[in-house]
Amino acid sequence: MATFLLAFLALSILTPILTRWLGTRVFYVIALLPAGAFAYTLTQTATVTAGGAVTQNIPWIPTLGISFSFRVDSLAWLLALVVTGIGALVLIYCARYFSPDEPGLGRFAALLLAFAGTMYGLVTADDVIVMFMFWEITSVLSYLLIGHYTGKRESRGAALQALLVTTFGGLIMLVGVIMISVGAGTTSLAVIVAQPVTGALGTWAILLILVGALSKSALVPFHFWLPAAMAAPTPVSAYLHAAAMVKAGIYIVARLAPGYAESDGWLPVLVTLGVWTMLVGAWRSLRQYDLKLLLAYGTVSQLGFLMIAVGFNTRDTALAGAALLLAHALYKATLFLVVGVIDHRAGTRDWRGLSGLGRSSPGLAVIALIAVASMAGIPPLFGFVAKEAVFTSLIDAGVSGNAWGWIALVGTAVGSVLTVAYSIRFFWGAFGTRPKLAPTVLHPSPWDSLLAPAVLTVATVGLGLFSSAVDPFLTPYADTVPGAGSASDPYHLALWHGLEPALFLSAIVIALGAVLFRWRKRVASLQATVPPWIDAGLGYGLTVRAIDRLAARTTHLGQRGGLPQYLGTILTVFVLALGFAAAVNRSWPSEIVLWDYPGQVLIALIMGIAAVMAARVGQRMTAVLLAGVTGFGLVALFAFHGAPDLALTQALVETITLVVFVLVLRRLPTQIAQHNRPKNRKRRATIGILVGLVMGTIGVIALGARQDPSIAGELPRLAVEEGHGNNIVNVMLVDIRAWDTMGEIAVLIVVATGVASLLFVSGRNA
């Protein structure tokens, strides 16, 4: 697995170079890598089906217990197949979607390949820190992919919006990840799920992680970023927003559900927001004319449906959720790719300008019809099998006494009615014939532009007809739910389960959905009555603008263009923070030695007097010389303490600094202008005195806060044994800390270079 991740990284780096030679054919080449990962994942099928897992561990930060550990079990196997399989098909699709002169083609190909690799790493990672790293990389890559059309303001705005929303959720999720790792005592995801963290710590950690999952999977109230992201090229929408990125949040919830679905707040949050999202997304789909936007809101709706399915803590809902996840990836990716073909061949995605495509492009219409039927839950397609499984599992949950099962069932049933309506709206809008419009003229397109959607359609039909054969591959994940083994009659995926309640519910849903489409004018009239301010995207805009205004006001208060004010603000915060820490501190030394010999007192007194006089004199040169006295006083202290190397370095730096000041000051007035009022001078003096007192206090506290014996007692012995020298300071600086000496030399070179530059510029101008 790690080998594939390195291959994704290396090939992504090389892709822009390959694009210069191959043009759009580069997509065929790079598609081989996710195809290879797909094939490798298939080779692990026997292990996964038997309930086992393929693991790999590469130590990374042993002191923190963090490693590049990967684990492919049934759930990861399913997601890895979706990510790599659909990723390879989308890359092949890109070869015909883009023209050879597409701006930024190499960059786009590299980013899309890198995203496929990142998603592969995310779904196979077993270390929560590594998983979170991949999680955040997907946000960055999606920002770059959504903003591919850099010249369009719409694309840039949508990319930034997606980045802000998903990163906001990611930062909150990071807190939850750290909390749950600390509570579990490990970063292993498998262990965290197998041995759940209980109590308030576990509850709050899970709720914070759910915020990240909800934002990534575009659930209410974070759903608005997904429709806006349709400004991206269609392959991005087909991959990121149908099969990959938006599934990341679903995957995390599905992964954690076996261990944490009984946590306080888990079901109420997921069911409430899931139902709300499903209804809002489906309702908004019914008012769209842009086919891509219609699918985008439909995706939002289906993500809510998915979140409900994977969130329940029963074996049957886990199985149904896994099946629905696969079904959704297949039919939604297909439909996005179909929209891309329509857009390219007809020049528009607005179905009000389309007519007769069903007759002029029968092959494309058949592919779309099958995908739409699967989305609507019509047999014998896999979408029907998955939806019926969800209905059955929710009915069983309700019958067993879980009230949230009935709430979820009613919500998903109503949402499914809307789903059928917007599914019909999509096909009717894209391929219907409108008497008032002339037949749409289509540009010719290569036959292989339909290869990717055709393969996905065949998979949708095949999995539906042979759904019972799919069951053994998804059952191992369902069996990880606590109590799964005690089920007397566990549910299994199949096309026909007999005349059961779920079947009748599916039939009612389809019939009501068709009626709702028939009443589309009434629906449009009803939607027109909704106030325009009821829009989450509008709320996002208002929030961002409010933050911008707050930032501007805060900046105006703290950034007035005056260095004294900046330093005063910094030092005041410094004094307050460390002063408070010192005030509540209890680690005071038992004995305080003020000086070792009288010479220290004399030197310190001279340094203090020089510093005070430097702040009060009116001549620049005098102030500089007095400031230099404090520096050379430090040289004397180093020398008296047996540190000649430090003393020499400090003396050289002070000397060069004085030279720099002299060169600069000769260009400035002799006298220092007095612009400060007495009140300001007193305030600054107070701040300076407090900084000195706080620093001195912190130094004293540091002496009393020692918990282990001082290493100083071992230095004489170590200097001789390890450094082969009797002068401890020389051994530390020259031998043990040679890099420190190199750093000091670098400082001298930088300062000397600056002085030489000033001299050169001065001589040239003269």
Collapsing DSSP states into helix, strand and coil, what is residue 44? Answer: coil
Both structure tokens of 471: 């069951």
- Name the residue type at position 205: A
Write down the pLDDT at residue 761.
Answer: 64
Q: Which helix (H) or strand (E) holds 423?
A: helix 403-431
Return the higher-pLDDT residue of 79 and 645: 79
Statement: residue 520 has pLDDT above 80: yes
pLDDT averaged over every residue in the chain: 89
- Can you tell me the distance from the alpha carbon of 522 to that of 525, in angstroms, rounded to the nearest whole number? 5
Both structure tokens of 587: 């680690």
Write down the pLDDT at residue 766.
Answer: 47
Least confident range from 286-290, 446-450, 627-631: namely 446-450
When pLDDT is cut at 50, 70 and 90, the band that residue 18 belongs to is very high
395-414 average pLDDT score: 94
Both structure tokens of 244: 């990959």
Q: Which helix (H) or strand (E) holds 685?
A: helix 678-704
Both structure tokens of 41: 């994942």
Tens of pLDDT, residues 192-216: 999 999 999 999 999 999 999 999 9
Return the higher-pLDDT residue of 402 and 765: 402
- Single out the residue of 357, 266, 364 nearest to residue 307, CA to CA: 266
**84 CB-side CA count, 13 A:** 27
CB 384 within 8 A of CB 496: no
Write down the pLDDT at residue 733.
Answer: 66
pTM for the structure as a whole? 0.81
Statement: residue 527 has pLDDT above 70: yes
CB 118 within 8 A of CB 205: no
Write down the pLDDT at residue 235.
Answer: 94
91-97 average pLDDT score: 94
Statement: residue 532 has pLDDT above 80: no
Tens of pLDDT, residues 56-80: 999 999 888 899 999 999 999 999 9
Return the higher-pLDDT residue of 597 and 279: 279
Q: State the Cα angle at 533 between 528 and 539, rounded to 5°.
A: 140
Statement: residue 758 has pLDDT above 70: yes
Greatest mean pLDDT among 160-164, 631-635, 667-671, 691-695: 160-164
- Single out the residue of 637, 614, 345, 393 nearest to residue 492, CA to CA: 393
480-484 average pLDDT score: 82
Statement: residue 461 has pLDDT above 50: yes
CB 413 within 8 A of CB 387: no
429-436 average pLDDT score: 89
- Can you tell me the distance from the alpha carbon of 543 to that of 165, in angstroms, rounded to the nearest whole number? 12
Domain boundaries, the chain: 265-481+490-528
Percent of the chain with pLDDT over 70: 96
Q: Which helix (H) or strand (E) holds 415?
A: helix 403-431
Tens of pLDDT, residues 150-179: 989 999 999 999 999 999 999 999 999 999
Q: State the Cα angle at 485 between 395 and 267, rounded to 5°.
A: 45
Statement: residue 13 has pLDDT above 60: yes
Write down the pLDDT at residue 586.
Answer: 74
Least confident range from 216-225, 277-286, 589-598: namely 589-598
When pLDDT is cut at 50, 70 and 90, the band that residue 675 belongs to is low
Statement: residue 557 has pLDDT above 70: yes
665-687 average pLDDT score: 74
When pLDDT is cut at 50, 70 and 90, the band that residue 585 belongs to is confident
Packing angle, helices 382-399 and 403-431, rounded to 10: 160
Q: What is the DSSP string of 568-633?
A: HHHHHHHHHHHHHHHHT-----S-----SSHHHHHHHHHHHHHHHHHHH-SBHHHHHHHHHHHHHH
Statement: residue 136 has pLDDT above 90: yes
- Can you tell me the distance from the alpha carbon of 215 to that of 229, in angstroms, rounded to the nearest whole number? 14
Least confident range from 75-84, 117-126, 513-522, 630-639: namely 630-639
517-523 average pLDDT score: 90
When pLDDT is cut at 50, 70 and 90, the band that residue 647 belongs to is confident
CA dihedral 177, 181, 182, 185 (to 10 degrees): 180
CB 452 within 8 A of CB 93: yes
